[in-house]
Structure 1
Amino acid sequence: MTAAEKKRREMRETIRDASIREFARNGLAGTSTQAIADAAGITKAQLHYYISSKEELYQEVLRYIVEQWREIFFLAASPEDPATAISRYIEQKLKHALEYPDISRFFAREIARGAPEMSPHWCGLRKAVEEASGVINRWIEGGKIKPVDPLLFQINMWAVTQHYAEYEAQVRVLMNKAADAPLDDGRIIKEATTLFLLRCGLTEEGMVS
């Protein structure tokens, strides 16, 4: 990679991160290209050198989020060991939500308004869910976990792990944590992991006797 290519990639990442913050706070309609440029520390003219419109940028961010989540949180990554796969999924998902809450808020805002921009991205998400459901069904058929509804099990894990980003202000009040204080991720991860392992008849060590 040449120095020019590296610089261009870094600027695209800066713009993407700035747009995530702005879109998460104000949505697509409420975000201007000037606001994105200001958040990225560049001029509006410089921004438009890299993007043609905020709508194009919004789609780019959606694609980035969907692809990133699929790579990091795919439940089928450890199909042979349900306790490990579920524990790893919850830990990675919660750590990501706590470290990058604006990504979760961006996505939640899009879904809350009816997901009008998600049409190009549903196929990839649905495929990932279907593959993970297949893994869960094989765990059930093999007697590795108690019967669960594979789809709802995934939706419930998603809901719990996303909560700490989407409702961070409420979580901080209830946990008596100041805005600049780190949340107790170890406590949160342990409770969520235990919740979903027990639903499957598991502990971190394996099947409940």
Structure 2
Amino acid sequence: MSSAKQRREAIHDSIRDAAVVEFARNGLSGTSTQAIAQAAGITKAQLHYYITSKEDLYQQVLGDIVTRWKEIFFLSTSAPDDPRIVIADYVRRKIRHALHHPEVARFFAREIARGAPEMARHWGPLRQSVDEATAIIQGWIDTGRIRPLDPLLFQMNLWAVTQHYAEYETQVRMLMDRPAPTLLDETRIVEEATALFLGRCGLLD
């Protein structure tokens, strides 16, 4: 890869990362291209060389998040025939991502909280992932691998618990007496959440 291409990709990454942070803090309407450029360490003129508009950048970031989450967190990525491994792996990866990239979860949560007006083109892939995971969970139920439960609500509860540590980070830090920049106790959080969901499935030893 040429040095020029490497530099362009580095700038693209900086813009995306800056946009996630600014949109998570201030939303689409409250974020200016000047703020994004400043956070990315470039000029506003440079920013507009790489993007067509703030709105298009927002859509790009939103699409990237949905795609990336599908790649990282889809339930069938590890060992779909072993629910204990799949669920534990999902919880671990999801909580780790929430702890290390909380601004991504907050960006998405802010969009959903305002009625998801920018999500129209992204619901399809998200719903497909949920439907595929639902089929996997239902298969576990039908073959007696886990106790009967609602596959859709089980996924929603998984999402809610693991996202909590990003969306409510300030509250979590206060209650756990872990002020920033002290790291949260990832092992403690993962172990408790894993036990919670394996227990619901009847998979605890």
TM-score bucket of the superposed structures, by smaller chain: over 0.9
Q: Structure 1 length as normaliser, TM-score?
A: 0.96
Q: 2:7, 2:43 → 1: CA distance?
A: 16
Q: 1:122, 1:111 → 2: CA distance?
A: 11
2:104 is matched with 103
Q: 1:56, 1:89 → 2: CA distance?
A: 31
1:76 is matched with 76
2:91 is matched with 90
Q: Structure 2 length as normaliser, TM-score?
A: 0.98
Q: 2:95, 2:187 → 1: CA distance?
A: 10
Q: 2:29, 2:42 → 1: CA distance?
A: 21
Q: CA RMSD in A?
A: 0.7
Write the deviation string for residues 67-90 of structure 1: whole angstroms up to 9, x where unpaired.
110000001222111000000000
Following TM superposition, by how much is the alpha carbon of 1:2 offset from its aligned partner in structure 2, in angstroms? 2.5
Q: 1:17, 1:139 → 2: CA distance?
A: 38
Write the deviation string for residues 150-195 of structure 1: whole angstroms up to 9, x where unpaired.
0000000000000000000001111111121100010000000000
1:162 matched to 2:163: yes
Identity fraction in percent: 62
User: What stretches of structure 2 of length at least 5 have no aligned partner?
Assistant: none
Q: 1:8, 1:120 → 2: CA distance?
A: 27
Write the deviation string for residues 12-52 of structure 1: whole angstroms up to 9, x where unpaired.
01100000000000000000000000000100000000001
2:67 is matched with 67
Following TM superposition, by how much is the alpha carbon of 1:3 offset from its aligned partner in structure 2, in angstroms? 2.3
Name the count of aligned residue pairs: 204
1:5 is matched with 5
Matches within 5 A, 1:10-25: 10-25=10-25
2:135 is matched with 134
